[in-house]
Chains A and B, each alone.
Chain A
């Protein structure tokens, strides 16, 4: 099936059930169908996509976070996969930085456990209802969320550290 048809089917199903859930949908030509879902509806939408017998997105390929370019919003990105029919869909949800909370997906997929911990570790997104939400790759004592854009790596164009011997 082409991505256009899949987009139409999912859109119809979702807008019939959750009329206000879809904020935006986009179709990236070389890639997969993408929906941006309101945070309030994200759990219902994921649960519907997983349990619907026709759509059957039973496999959570990936879960990760991101920060928008204006540094005012954080987001969570889910990649879902229907293996028998080989449909893939990307679901995104965004929320403001001052209240980075989203319902957990661990009740749908146990495998979301560590992926959500990783997202919390790097972006500080709190997954409400997660059984064990603590840092996973970084040290427990760390008090920042390092993947946020407010913590840049060293700027390579800076000139206060010029090193004539080795060049920068």
Chain B
């Protein structure tokens, strides 16, 4: 894998003395990179002198595809961006279209969305944090905590039928009320997960080996993070308390009381701890949502020309059949205009910039993918550090290939 290169003939402007660097190809497919990333590292022994990332290995042209798809059919594309927390992507897209059309959901549907989004956030952070453990050599936490992700996926499966790429909910609400069994599952998750999370925390949070390994590993200052347009846990780890759920509340987040955990130095340990605390906060939000959710309300907005009518009506009612046909064929009446809507995704501000010309498909749709934006700071963050720290920095930044390449 490593190739020694004699650099006497190579042009190196920043080099005054003659020095031999070796070139190391990290990735594109390497178990330690957790996704398809290539980094061409220029190494001085074990110290990284320079890194050149190459991205785009799983680019699937979602923005172009979206220009030929009706609004309902774009939801499955959003699944495949950050596939660790696809419900957040789905909801973000639904809310963008709702914002454009001026649809307001009943409180019950909004609270149900909050529950799902927070479950997704837990599953996202849980993967990231347990993988940081794996990369420092602690496999136990990963294997132990992963069954809780399975429980979250079971809840998704009850609601929408799929586990990873969920395509959950619809524009305008949910297709049906969740079964009583699902509510029980959510309640049992909220009751039992804290114990597991506490055990996971006990394994790593104050573990001397873990702390020695992660503190001062891949740090980034708050100023630098802001200049590089960082958002989400990575920005909060650097000490900036920016959270879209608080600054621009959507889906009734203003009704909930929760803290924004922040770090100080923006290193791997802070990123880990911010995610740990966010999981606790997410649990609090879910608890509040279960407690305060309005009982006798519909789970969808009353928008017959956007939301599919119930099947029994389609079979027995002419008007419903017409609506069903129109919606399935993608002939929704969407106003002209442009909106930017952002949600707090697992990795940061996930934005949807939608320009509509009133046609059946978006005129232009741009996804603001937090991964893509903050991964460009990676070469700077690992410059001068050890190779093994670079691996750790990458996994603690939670770079998801699907989101990065869109």
A137 & B339 in contact (Cβ 8 Å cutoff)? no
Q: A79-B353, A138-B59 are in contact. List 6 more A-B contacts (CB 8 A).
A: A30-B102, A31-B99, A62-B351, A62-B368, A109-B227, A146-B61
State the Cβ distance, A6 to closest chain B Cβ, in Å.
14
- Which of A66, A139, A156 has the most B CB atoms < 10 Å from its CB? A66
What range describes how many residues of B lie at the interface? Answer: 35 or more
What are the residues of chain B within 8 A of A109 when measuring CB–CB? 227-229
A31 & B338 in contact (Cβ 8 Å cutoff)? yes
Known: A28-B339, A30-B99, A83-B247. Is A64-B353 also a contact (CB below 8 A)?
A: yes
Can you report 6 residue pairs joining A to B where beta carbons are below 8 Å apart?
A31-B340, A61-B349, A86-B247, A88-B340, A110-B227, A111-B376
- Which of A28, A114, A147 has the most B CB atoms < 10 Å from its CB? A114
Q: Is A2 an interface residue (CB 8 A)?
A: no
What are the residues of chain A within 8 A of B203 when measuring CB–CB? none
For B357, give its contact among A62, A69, A122, A136 (CB under 8 Å): A69
State the Cβ distance, A91 to closest chain B Cβ, in Å.
12
What range describes how many residues of A lie at the interface? Answer: 35 or more
Contact with A along B8-20 (1 / 0, CB 8 A): 0000000000000
Dominant secondary structure of chain B at its interface with chain A = mixed
Q: Is B67 an interface residue (CB 8 A)?
A: yes
Contact with A along B335-374 (1 / 0, CB 8 A): 0011110100000010101010100000110101000111
Pair count A-B, CB < 8 A: 93
- Which of A60, A62, A146 has the most B CB atoms < 10 Å from its CB? A62
For A61, give its contact among B227, B228, B229, B337 (CB under 8 Å): B229
Complex alpha-carbon distance, A147 and B357, angstroms: 17
B226 & A110 in contact (Cβ 8 Å cutoff)? no
Q: Is B55 an interface residue (CB 8 A)?
A: yes
Known: A61-B368, A79-B353, A109-B227. Is A136-B242 also a contact (CB below 8 A)?
A: no
For B338, give its contact among A28, A60, A112, A153 (CB under 8 Å): A28
Q: Is A39 an interface residue (CB 8 A)?
A: no
Complex alpha-carbon distance, A32 and B357, angstroms: 18
Complex alpha-carbon distance, A123 and B406, angstroms: 16
A153 & B59 in contact (Cβ 8 Å cutoff)? no
State the Cβ distance, A11 to closest chain B Cβ, in Å.
19
What are the residues of chain A within 8 A of B353 when measuring CB–CB? 62, 64, 77, 79
Contact with A along B238-259 (1 / 0, CB 8 A): 0010100001100000000000
Q: Is A90 an interface residue (CB 8 A)?
A: yes
B339 & A113 in contact (Cβ 8 Å cutoff)? no
B55 & A137 in contact (Cβ 8 Å cutoff)? yes
B340 & A79 in contact (Cβ 8 Å cutoff)? yes
What are the residues of chain B within 8 A of A153 when measuring CB–CB? 64-65, 67-68
Chain A residues 64 to 88 lying within 8 A of chain B, measured CB to CB, are 64, 66-67, 69, 77, 79, 83, 86, 88
